[in-house]
Amino acid sequence: MQAIKGYFTDGRFTPADSIVLPRHAHAILVIEELTPVTQEASSFWHEFDRLVDASTHEAMPEFPRLRLGREPITFAED
């Protein structure tokens, strides 16, 4: 059994990678259905991208370092 990823357009299958398909073989076709993006989701991501772009040059606050109370373990040979 072999799985081949590609595109099905107008009744023809085009593999995504350059492979040789057999001339005749038993096959099972599984069609991946993509869910359409709603207007609400689309506007959310546009607003998100706008906010990320607007915050590009903001200064990052200084975060306190964690104090774990022990030295880190190094796995180097002696």
* pLDDT number for residue 51: 92
- Reduced to 3 states (helix: H, G, I; strand: E, B; else coil), residue 23 is coil
* pLDDT number for residue 14: 84
Phi, psi of 52 (to 5 degrees): -65, -45
* pLDDT number for residue 45: 84
50, 51, 53, 56: CA torsion to nearest 10:
170
Using 50 as the pLDDT threshold, list the residues of the chain that sit under it. none
Phi, psi of 51 (to 5 degrees): -65, -40
Question: What are the sequence ranges of the domains in the chain?
Answer: 1-31
Tell me if the pTM is above 0.85: no
